A and B are shown apart, each in its own frame.
Chain A
Amino acid sequence: MIYFNNVTKKYRDDVALEDINISITQGEFVSIVGHSGAGKTTLTKLILAEEFPTMGNVFFHSTDIHKLSSRDLTQFRRKIGIVFQDFRLLPNKTAYENIAFAMEAIGKDDQNIKEDVPHVLELVDLTSKASHFPHQLSGGEKQRLAIARAIITQPEIIIADEPTGNLDPINTNDVVNLLKKINDLGTTVIITTHNRNVVEQIKKRVITLENGRMVRDDKDGKYML
């Protein structure tokens, strides 16, 4: 469903990604690993059309993501759930409202929101924190909330950029298990990480980046750097 076709991305003269060819199919759980600066984040930004490739194309099904109009881009982003290392929750909204906002944004009606939000809060074990603001939550709770927000709209893909980067091992474990559970329910998950334990816990496809080049693409997850 996502195809990288000879993609190169340069920031001025610095090469962030060079000649990347990746094909990701529906229902896969892909871990993208590499050191800092290897190009992991650039890769996710290209999928979200936050950045444009210098050369090559990125396709979602058969549409070139970077040729979408801003209106179509909004529609496209609704099919993707995103989780960030720094959570990126809306600071002025409670946990409940953060999730509800994602549903409101895509035009769900109030009835739907009332039914689905508590359900997802329960899934990520935050029912008791529904009326807390992000600054009142711990790192692990924030990330679970971010995941809840990402999945509430039932996206086709979840993209998680270093989702465990700011978490301790126990919270990391929770988050990885949550993502696995979501993947088991049929959603494609793409995760970037440089945490060996995370990769070995997932035990799925691993793509290794080094200095902007794809150096390995293993079917069964091994962390080799």
Chain B
Amino acid sequence: MVVWFATTRTVNICYNILMFLIKMKRVIVSGYRNFTRSGFTSLASILVMTITLFVMTSLIFIQAGLNSALNDIKEKVDVTVYFVSDADEDSIQELKEALGKLPEVREIFYKSKEEALTQFKERHSNDYLTLQALDELGENPLGASLNIKAQDPSQYESIAKYFENENALSNGTLMVVDKIDYHQNKLVIDRLTSIINGAKKLGLAASLILILISVLITFNTIRLIIYMSREEIGIMKLVGAGGRYIRGPFIFSGILVGIVASIVTIIIFVPVSIWLGNQMTDFIGINLYTYYKSNFLQLFIIMLGSGVIIGSVSSIFAIHRYLKK
């Protein structure tokens, strides 16, 4: 008796699993056929979905470009401390070490008197008059300097203030500082900082709005397509098909639209990124084609995932109202 019970139970479970697999197969086959046979309609939804994915990927590209451009600008912002020409090496090293301990400071480059002179000569190698004047001077008029880069552009202010705080440094050290170019750069640095932050916020907001719009358009297209099938859904109901069985093929068609659209988009972006790479590299600081190649898998997964999710979720929502009795 127990054995019999156990066997029928196992048989039941096996049967249920088998039925589930058969149904899955039917849903997939029927969804695939719906997709291939409704040619123009499928094409339309693929097109709209491709546009959505294209917008999304473009925005990822724009963000990458923007970030790289902003980093480029940030790199160019710095504070330079110029020393008087007869400053002694030890005081400068002492200051450098003290600065290195500040949490805001990322890097410090030391440029000695001699290096400053060499660079100056190089820069003016065509300017005979200046070089001659320098020669006549006989000695090196240039001072050493420390070039300081902060972790973040907003931190330059506090680094500059550090020099005003006399307690932090011994008097001897402060004496050797000729000038700090921060105050001249302050206006530019402030403005850049606010532009950078603004651009980031604006970029994010614009991206979200654009993505929202394109998702809504795709959603609506798929809804319209299912609306055209409402009679078909009615027939299926009358023939005795259950809700899940009717919904399945439509959802699978939606997923197929997502998959095909993401493949189309990823292909379209090859020539697009090559072109952008040729046109924009100097301007934004990275080659978008290289970026595309190195992030290919990640981008493809994002597109595929978004496509599949948008396709299936819009199908589920769209079909819901026609399944109610």
Contact = CB atoms under 8 A, between A and B. Distances in A.
Give the interface residue-count category, chain A. Answer: 20 to 34
A82 interface: yes
A153 B240 contact: yes
Interface stretch (B78-86, B137-145, B230-238, B264-272): B230-238
A91 B34 CA distance: 10
A104 B237 contact: no
Interface string A195-224: 000000000000000000000000000000
A78 to B, nearest CB: 4
Interface residues of B, number: 24
> Which one of A49, A105, A110 has the highest number of Cβ atoms from chain B below 10 Å of its Cβ?
A105
Contacts, number: 60
B231 A88 contact: yes
Contact of B235 (A71, A73, A75, A90): A90
B231 A77 contact: no
Given A90-B232, A104-B26, A105-B245, A149 B34 contact: no
B243 A70 contact: yes
Nearest to A133: B37
A90 B33 CA distance: 12
B18 to A, nearest CB: 8
Contact of B236 (A49, A71, A101, A109): A101
B238 A82 contact: yes
Contact of A74 (B19, B37, B242): B242
Interface string B218-252: 00000000000001101111111111010000000
Interface in A88-112: 88-93, 97, 101-102, 104-107, 109-110
Given A90-B232, A92-B38, A105 B239 contact: yes
Contact of B240 (A88, A89, A105): A105
Interface in B13-38: 19, 22-23, 26, 30, 33-34, 37-38
Contacts of A33: none
A91 B230 CA distance: 12
Nearest to B26: A104
B325 interface: yes
A48 B26 contact: no
A77 B236 contact: no
A199 B30 CA distance: 40
B240 A92 contact: no
Contacts of B19: 107
Interface in A113-133: none
Contacts of A101: 30, 236, 239, 241
Interface in B83-104: none
A109 B21 CA distance: 11
B321 to A, nearest CB: 14
Contacts of B232: 90-92
Contacts of A71: 242
B240 A74 contact: yes
> Which one of A49, A93, A104, A110 has the highest number of Cβ atoms from chain B below 10 Å of its Cβ?
A104
B240 A102 contact: yes
Nearest to B36: A92
Interface string B167-194: 0000000000000000000000000000
Interface string A123-152: 000000000000000000000000001000
Interface in A17-57: 48-50
A70 B243 CA distance: 9
B231 A93 contact: no
B238 A77 contact: yes
A46 to B, nearest CB: 14
Contact of B239 (A70, A75, A92, A102): A102
> Which one of B231, B240, B242 has the highest number of Cβ atoms from chain A below 10 Å of its Cβ?
B240
A149 B10 CA distance: 34
Contact of A78 (B26, B234, B240, B325): B240
A106 B26 CA distance: 12
A74 B30 CA distance: 20
Given A107-B19, A109-B22, A110-B22, A92 B238 contact: no
Contacts of B243: 70, 74
Interface in B33-70: 33-34, 37-38
8 shortest A-B CB distances, which residue pairs?
Answer: A105-B241, A78-B240, A77-B240, A92-B37, A102-B239, A88-B235, A70-B325, A105-B240
23 contacts: A70-B243, A70-B324, A71-B242, A74-B241, A74-B242, A74-B243, A77-B238, A77-B239, A78-B240, A82-B238, A82-B239, A88-B235, A91-B232, A92-B34, A97-B33, A101-B236, A101-B241, A104-B241, A104-B245, A105-B245, A106-B240, A149-B239, A153-B240
Interface of A: 48-50, 70-71, 73-75, 77-78, 82, 88-93, 97, 101-102, 104-107, 109-110, 149, 153
